[in-house]
Amino acid sequence: MTKAICVEPIYAFNDNYIWLLTTADGKAYVVDPGDAQPVLEALHQRSLTLSGILITHWHPDHTGGVEALKAALDCTVWGPKNEAIRGIDHYLDEGDSVALAGITFSIIKVPGHTLDHIAYVGDGTLFCGDALFVAGCGRVFEGTFPMMRHSLDKLRQLPKATRVFCAHEYTESNLRFAVTADPENDALQQHNERCQELRSQGKPTVPSTLEIECATNPFLRWDDPDLAQRLVASGRCSTTAADEVFEALRSWKDTF
């Protein structure tokens, strides 16, 4: 529970999280519904009516349920400026905002994973789709490595107490890479143990917080001297320049 919103996961596919937001006045919204059926089941179980959908980017596992939900429930859809996403009523860009029952979410453009990717931040929460994960970040499919790093830099400037709601349970594999890339990070070791315990109990590792991610996520730590020097010493990059360090980390993870 945040200040004004109850946020719950709806599980979809193998590892997707569709986030269900319930406001104090009983309205419901979902973030990135790649599949309509689990959303319809969750709404029925909780006797909720869907008021709207928030989309972060065009990938089908984030948008595949939009048209069916909109047809069945006549809800409003917000999303990035990408006409390839069918069903959006209101296109959003950097600096725009969405008011949900009096709660305002600001829009941050975070291209890199895809060029249209946006994030929603408000009420102490960040819905970041596939831009930022617990202990990881999205693959750079459409953008460039500097573009992705710049997007992540925007996110790490948010208040450290911000809760990070990403769209996949990738944490275990991300942490295996993180402890390999940053083995002397005590905070990371402790975070790894906590997350392993959660997963052993069948519990999600999401949400995280930006404070935790800035301390443990190698993809937010490109300017950590020890991490950068380790990459140079291993021959994965030739300098400690931020973009080069980030590219070395992301390229390494792609084949890890």
Which is nearest to 39 in space by CA: 29, 54, 24? 29
Q: What is the tens place of the pLDDT at every residue in 148-193?
A: 999 999 999 999 999 999 999 999 999 999 999 999 999 999 999 9
Q: Is 130 an active-site residue?
A: yes
Contact 127, 54 (CB under 8 A): yes
**Around 192, how many Cα atoms within 13 Å sit in the side-chain half-sphere?**
20
Give the C-alpha separation, 76 to 73, whole Å.
9
Give the C-alpha separation, 28 to 51, whole Å.
6
What was the pLDDT predicted at 1?
Answer: 46
Contact 49, 72 (CB under 8 A): no
pTM of the model: 0.96
Q: For residue 159, give Cα distances in angstroms to 156, 171, 183, 212.
A: 8, 22, 26, 12
How crowded is residue 5: how many other Cβ atoms within 10 Å of its Cβ? 22
- Assign residue 111 the CATH number of its domain: 3.60.15.10
Of the residues 32, 123, 130, 182, only one is catalytic, namely 130
Question: For residues 1, 215, 58 and 97, what is the CA-based torsion angle, rounded to 10 degrees?
Answer: 60
Q: Is 150 an active-site residue?
A: no
Q: Is 74 an active-site residue?
A: no
Q: For residue 147, give Cα distances in angstroms to 12, 110, 135, 210.
A: 29, 8, 19, 20
Of the residues 35, 61, 123, 182, only one is catalytic, namely 61
Question: Could you give the 3-state DSSP secondary structure of residue 255?
Answer: coil
Mean pLDDT of 219-229: 97
Q: Is 59 an active-site residue?
A: yes
Of the residues 62, 117, 150, 191, only one is catalytic, namely 62
What was the pLDDT predicted at 5?
Answer: 85
> Total domain count for the chain?
1
Q: What amino acid is encoded at 157 in this protein? A: Q
Q: What is the tens place of the pLDDT at every residue in 80-133?
A: 999 999 999 999 999 999 999 788 999 999 999 999 999 999 999 999 999 999
Structural domain including 93 reads 5-254
